[in-house]
Amino acid sequence: MSEYRIEVDIIACDGRGVCAERFPERIHLDDWGYPIIDPTPFGRSLLPHAKGAMAACPVLALRLERLSARPRRVRSAIVERWRHRSNVGARADRGKRPGYSRGFAPATTSTSPGRRRP
């Protein structure tokens, strides 16, 4: 699933304000009736609103930008979690050295989010 962002060509824009009516989740108007775009990416659920705003614009000043696909981000998040786990493991090992904070190591591992099943 992809994420999207909407952009306005402010030079082309006429300030009719139709876009803000069609896509209030990401577009509102300034004091003079020109669109201010919220750059927060949105998912497919808002795509119909975005496309409605684009089609309704009398000068076609809106453009849809497709951002990097979501699966890649998810994968990198998983990798991050694995890294975190291996770090935790290393710390736990260090804790087992003789005479070194015996009560400390198990506490660390038990609070580690890496040990919890997702």
> Toward other proteins, which CB reaches closer, 32 or 117?
32
- Is residue 39 close enough to count as binding other proteins by CB under 8 A? no
30-39, long-range: CB < 8 A, 24+ apart = 34/10, 35/8, 37/6, 37/7, 37/8, 39/5
Q: Which stretch binds other proteins (CB under 8 A): 24-32, 49-57, 73-81, 88-96?
A: 24-32
Least distance from other proteins to the Cβ atom of residue 36, Å: 7
- Is residue 13 close enough to count as binding other proteins by CB under 8 A? yes
How far is 34 from 63, CA to CA, in rounded Å? 15
* Cα–Cα distance list, 14 to 9, 71, 97 (Å): 10, 38, 71
- Is residue 21 close enough to count as binding other proteins by CB under 8 A? no
Least distance from other proteins to the Cβ atom of residue 12, Å: 7
